[in-house]
Structure 1
C-alpha cells in the first residue's frame, strides 16, 4: 500500500541498473554490437533475473549488457533520460539516481568525466519534460579497485555541484570500505553526503566501517545489521537510515525468502528504513511492488508503511524546504 497523500520516493535506484531491455537491444543494433541471441524475447534472461541469482556477483553480471552497448555519449544521455521517464511512469515523485561513471564508460573507453556530464544532461532533460524531481549520486565502484575508484571520484568531483552524494558499491567482500578512507575524506571536503552499500554481501563489520570510516549517514541494504544488537542501537540513536530493497535482497541471495527479511527486527529496534527498487529493469519490478510485498508477504501494518514512506522523505539528500514542498505538492493533488 502506498499512501497517495505522501510523496513516493526511491532513494536507492541504480541508473545503470535500470537500462530498458528494448533500449539495450536497440543500441546493440545501432552500434553493431553482437548479442548472444537472435531474437529479443530470448535476450530477456540475459538482462533480467528469473527468480533469483546464486549470489550478488551473478546478479551484478546481469547489468553488464546495459553498459556494453553505450558506445557514445548520446547513448549515455538517452538512458539517463529514459530513467527519468521510468520514474514518471512509476508514479515516483522524487528519486535519487545513482550511477558508476567508470562502469558506464569502460566498454567503449568513453571519457569518464564526460559520461558524468551526459548523465546530468539526460536527467535534467527528463526532469523538465516529465515534471519529476530527481538528484544524482555518484558511485565509486570498488569492484575495479582503488586506482579506478580514485579516477572515478576525480571525474565526479568535476561535476560535484550536480550531485548530492557519493556512494561506494560493488565487491563488498573483496574490497572492504577501510581501503577507501582517503577517497571519502575528499568527499567530505567537497561537502557531499555519503551513502554506502554495506551489510549485503558482508556482515555488520562492513556497516560499522561505512559509518565510522567513511561517515555514511545512510546505508545501502544493511541487511546483516540485525546480527549486531549494538549496531542496531547505534543506527537508531544516530538516525542512520537503511535503504531497504526487498526483491533485490531475495534475488541476490542475501536472504533466502522475502518473508525472512529482517525488516521487522529493524523496525522493532527503532531503526529507520525506507523501501527502494535497487535495479528495477534487472529485477522486473517497480517501487509500488515493494510496498505491496511489504504488506502482503511481510505483513507490515498501514502505520508502518506510512512511516516508511515518511522515512524516505526525511532521509532524502535535499533541504527541509524541498521536503516540505514535496509534502505540499502531494496534499494539493489529493
Structure 2
C-alpha cells in the first residue's frame, strides 16, 4: 500500500481546527449575499488570491473580515456542516473543534445564535455519519482577560456541551500568563484546558501554558525544539502537540515543508499529531496535511500510523473509544 492510500484508509481524529477557518470563499460569498453584507472582494478568485500571508497577523486580518458575514444560526450551521463533509471525505471520525465566541459577540451576534448553529451541525453529522465531536471554546489573546472572563460566564449555561477552553489569535506580545486567572476560573468550573503556544511565540510560552494554564495539550508547539529541557518534559509527560504543517508553511513559521521539524519531534519521542488548523485559508484539510508532510519529510508508514494513533491518544475521548479507534489504525 502506498502512503496516500494508507492515509486515506486509516481513521483519524482532528484536534486543532478553527471552525471559522474552514470558511471557503464560495460559501463566504453565498452567505454574504444571503445576509446582504458587503466584503472588500468582488469575486471568489480575488478573495483566493488574497490568501498569501507573511505572518499570523496578515492571516487574522482576513479571517476576521470573513467572519463578519456570519450573523444567523443557519450561517454557523452551514459553515460547520461544510467542514464535517470534508471530515467524512478524509476519514476523520472524531473532531474537537475550536470556536471563537468573541469574534462574533464583539460585533453583536448572540452567543446562543453562534453556539446553536455549530452544535446542531455537529449533532446532525454524528447522527448521520457517526462522526463524534467535542467543542473547545477559545479566548482571543489579543483582547483583555476581562473580555475572556465575560465570555466564560456566557458559556457556563452550555457547560455540558463544551469540554475545554483554549487560547488563540495573535501570539506575539500576548503571553499565556496574561490569562492565568480566567484559566483557573475555567478549571474550577470543570473545563479542561488547551492553549496555542510556541508557533510564533517562544518556547517560554509553552512553559507558561504548562505551568500557569495547566493545559492538557499544546496547540502548535513547534518551537519547543529550541529548548532541550522542554522537549524532555514533553516526552516525559506525554504532552501532545497538535501540529498543523500546511498552516506553518503558509504563515512562514517554516519556509518550506522540508524545513519542518515534525519528524524530528516525532523521533525525539514527542506525541505529535497532524491537523489542518484553518484549512480553507492554508491549502488543505486533514489528508492533504498528512500527504504533504509524508512526502516532504519522508515519513515512513510506521510514522503515519503513529501520528494517527497519537491523535486518538491525545483526544478527549473515553479510554474505551480511544482503544476502539487505535485498534483500527493499521495497514
Please report the TM-score for the alignment, with normalisation by the length of structure 2: 0.92
The residue number in structure 2 matching 1:79 is 79
The residue number in structure 1 matching 2:29 is 25
Displacement of 1:127 in angstroms is 2.3
Displacement of 1:207 in angstroms is 0.2
CA distance in 2, matches of 1:155, 1:330: 39
Displacement of 1:6 in angstroms is 4.1
Q: Say whether 1:233 aligns with 2:232.
A: yes
Equivalent of 1:38, from 36, 42, 64?
A: 42
CA distance in 1, matches of 2:126, 2:63: 24
Displacement of 1:3 in angstroms is 4.9
CA distance in 2, matches of 1:328, 1:238: 23
Say if 1:9 and 1:309, in contact at 8 Å, map to a contact too: yes
Displacement of 1:243 in angstroms is 0.6
Say if 2:195 and 2:215, in contact at 8 Å, map to a contact too: yes
Say if 2:203 and 2:223, in contact at 8 Å, map to a contact too: yes
The residue number in structure 1 matching 2:318 is 319
The residue number in structure 2 matching 1:303 is 302
Q: Say whether 1:14 aligns with 2:18.
A: yes
Displacement of 1:22 in angstroms is 1.3
CA distance in 2, matches of 1:3, 1:31: 39
CA distance in 2, matches of 1:208, 1:215: 10
CA distance in 2, matches of 1:165, 1:87: 21
Say if 1:113 and 1:156, in contact at 8 Å, map to a contact too: no
Say if 1:116 and 1:156, in contact at 8 Å, map to a contact too: no
The residue number in structure 2 matching 1:128 is 127
Equivalent pairs counted in the alignment come to 327
Q: Say whether 1:280 aligns with 2:279.
A: yes
Please report the TM-score for the alignment, with normalisation by the length of structure 1: 0.92
The residue number in structure 2 matching 1:138 is 137
Unaligned runs of at least 5 residues, structure 2: none
